[in-house]
Amino acid sequence: MQKKIFLLLTMLCMLLAVGCGQHATDKQSHGKLTVGIMPDVDSLPLVVALDKGYFAEEGLEADIQLYKSAMERDSALQSGNLDGAVSDLLAVTFAKSGGFDVKATSFTDGSYRLVAGKAAGSDLASLKGQDVAVSRNTIIEFVTDAVLAKADLKEDFINKVIIPQIPTRLEMLQNGKLAAATLPEPMASIAIYSGGHYVTGSDNIGLNPGVIIFTGQALKEKNDSIGAFYRAYNRAVKYLNQAPKEEYMDLAVEKCGFPPLAKEAMEPLVYHEATPPKEDDVAACVKWLNDKGLVTATYAYGDLVADLPNK
């Protein structure tokens, strides 16, 4: 009797071992994705997913690489060193126009905010003819023009001062050398925390120009990997929406490149699970680039956006 029980237990253990081994093999089948991020709030879910082990638990080897400039990120994409990146709709359209096969798969939750300096007013009307810092032909200028248009104001209502470097833009605003500046998060919150005034921004007009993108090759050859990527991404979103910011802000500073002051300056973040970009946002971006003469072709939604992989 004891011998029979022993044999049954042995067979049960063998079956469990085979099952666990098969499970581990399945988890390893999604391969590797290399994704570039920027020091902004759009990238934080990826950093959290890596830190919490969500990618690994989905069977994905995720190589998350931090870039300090969009130029470096885009160069890495086009040279084949990245499968995807945290980016924006302008970059996708520029890439398409230049013959590089890349598409957006989901929008991100970054905010772009027009912040006035300490001595300036806190509404758009007070900025008439004043120096407002932007970066030329970027998502920053696009959002600035969009908030002006939403208020029925023309582009020349303000005097645009071109300052590409975000830290320089912030410093000049804080030193009173500018009336206002359009800044991404977390820099916008730091400017407000330091005495600036929030005027308006992408959130006020319902604009989400930030996106996650993947190359055409990755979308074709690594669809399962991208599906695993988004399962982990959505788990990170759920965590960020439930956790107090004290739990993740040290990680944001260390791994996502946030300035240390962001820990005090930023309000708790709210993220959305992976969702395709809105058609209105894509159309607005293409129209702005066409009107500026920066892109000549008129692209349809499907030219710039790919279906989300089956998660």
164-210 pLDDT tens trace: 888 899 999 999 999 999 999 999 999 999 999 999 999 999 999 99
232-257 pLDDT tens trace: 999 999 999 999 999 999 999 999 98
CATH number for the segment(s) 112-201:
3.40.190.10
- Domain 32-110+208-304 fold is D-Maltodextrin-Binding Protein; domain 2 (3.40.190)
Token duo for residue 283: 């159309």
Q: Rounded distance, CA 139 to CA 86, Å?
A: 13
Residue ranges covered by each domain of the chain: 32-110+208-304, 112-201
The stretches in the chain having pLDDT less than 70 are 1-28, 310-311
What number of other Cβ atoms are within 10 A of residue 174's Cβ?
Answer: 17
Decide: residue 4, CB within 10 A, 0-12 exposed, 13-18 middle, 19+ buried.
exposed
pLDDT at 167: 87
pTM assigned to the model: 0.86
Phi, psi of 109 (to 5 degrees): -110, 30
Nearest one of 39, 37, 40, 42 to 208, comparing CA atoms: 42
pLDDT at 28: 56
